[in-house]
Chains A and B, each alone.
Chain A
Amino acid sequence: MSFKQTPSQTIGPFFAYGLTPKQYGYNEIKDITSNNLNSEGTIGERISIEGIVFDGNNEAVDDALIEIWQASSSGLYVTSRNQKNTNDSFCGFGRCGTGTNPQRKFSFTTIKPGSASENQAPHINFIIFMRGLLSHVYTRMYFPEEEVANQHDSFLIKVPKNRRQTLIAKQMSSSKVKVYQFNIYMQGANETVFFDV
């Protein structure tokens, strides 16, 4: 018997009360996560990330869902297998919709991840869903100050040089917490690099 993968379908415009209820003001069910990945016991450098998803007309998308998954400050992905072995209260997974900010920004409060292995520069994994996107896309956000590590990253080296900048966040003007801007372009000259994960 053969098992074919279940086909993907678009998330549609009305996911928010099911997947990000609190952000959108629904209280009937609890959230499994939020756009704040930190808690008191989280170890690491506090950062925030913000960005806008742009469509092919360069208009901000107001009904996208962004999911991020990242390693802890020590480079560990906290999973069901290893969460008991770490005293770092960091879950590594966050969600944010683009429908509640007036500029259609998504934002996350998190920590800067450590490097998960030798050929991996510190990075944050992104999945993007939206109405009009029939299958989700995968991308990664890298850090501008990690020039050396970025040069040896096993994903970045597969990306044509002239497109790599779409994956490197910009550090915004200094405040107490480092803010990185990471915009996502679905189409156009700056189309974000998506990975065939």
Chain B
Amino acid sequence: MTLSYNQRDWTVHPSYFSENYKSTHLRSPTKAPVKIEQTNSELTAPSFFSLINHEQENDLTKNGAVDGQQPLGERIVVTGSVVDENGKPQPNTLIEIWQCNSSGRYIHAADQHDAPLDPNFFGAGRCITDKNGIYKFYSIKPGAYPWGNHKNAWRPAHIHFSLFGPAFATRLITQSYFPGDPLLELDPIFQSTPKEARKLLIKTFDIEVTEEGFALGYKFDFILRGPKATPMEK
């Protein structure tokens, strides 16, 4: 078993408090987290492979569609690898995604944005990385949508990603954005990320991944916390 994982790298992760992202004001812890030595609790993770349907639910263009119809919007394929900080592929990692539809509306009952729901789009799916740590999703490019953070606030198009990795310590939930989006510069959530690390949250358009006549291709790789380098092999 891995002896321990590297700490979270706070030069890339956003701080808990963000002046411009208002919801952080009452929800961000004010005291520094207590330092500990990782134990079995942090070094282990549940086996999702047995929990998940082996039919992967990675095609969002189909999993909410009624009677063979199709959701509206620009079809996309998003693929990439999950590796650790040493570049080692992470197989059998559960990835769950959720997003709004092409009009910028989530199916979630709490989303009251006045944009149409798409009867053929659910907006969530999941897959497990293969033996090389590769994942792939088919979906529809999500729209931008307004939110109440400040006057005329709009979220840039994004897909929410949830990853477990090999341990409770490697858990990650994040959002991945699209290249060239003018809203990125104005978005307090994206901007809360340390400047040098922001590019790590933007997908790359890739003509090689693009499927001819079907869907635009984007690449997005995940880097999870890696095992701490040990001075000596035991």
A interface, CB within 8 angstroms of B: 1, 3-19, 21, 24, 26, 28-30, 32-33, 55-57, 59, 61, 63, 67, 69, 71, 77-80, 83, 91-93, 99, 116-117, 120, 123, 125, 127, 129-138, 140, 154-155, 158-159, 186-187, 191-197
Known: A14-B108, A120-B41. A80 touches B92 (CB 8 A): yes
Closest A residue to B221 by CB, please name it. Answer: A6
B interface, CB within 8 angstroms of A: 7-9, 11-16, 18, 21-42, 44-53, 57, 63-64, 83-87, 92, 94, 96-98, 100, 106-111, 122-126, 160, 162, 168-169, 171-175, 189-190, 192-194, 197-198, 200-201, 221-226
| CB of A131, distance to nearest CB on chain B (Å) | 5
Query: Does B108 contact A17, Cβ atoms closer than 8 Å?
Result: yes
Query: Does A196 contact B36, Cβ atoms closer than 8 Å?
Result: yes
| CB of B35, distance to nearest CB on chain A (Å) | 5
Query: Does B97 contact A18, Cβ atoms closer than 8 Å?
Result: yes
Query: Does B13 contact A8, Cβ atoms closer than 8 Å?
Result: yes
Query: Does B35 contact A129, Cβ atoms closer than 8 Å?
Result: no
Closest A residue to B107 by CB, please name it. Answer: A17
Shortest beta-carbon contacts, A-B, top 6: A132-B23, A18-B98, A80-B47, A18-B124, A56-B26, A132-B27
Closest B residue to A188 by CB, please name it. Answer: B30
Residues of B within 8 A of A129 (CB): 173
Residues of A within 8 A of B122 (CB): 17, 26, 28-29
8 contacts between A and B (CB under 8 A): A6-B201, A9-B193, A17-B106, A30-B57, A56-B25, A63-B110, A80-B47, A120-B40
Known: A18-B124, A21-B124, A69-B46. A158 touches B200 (CB 8 A): no
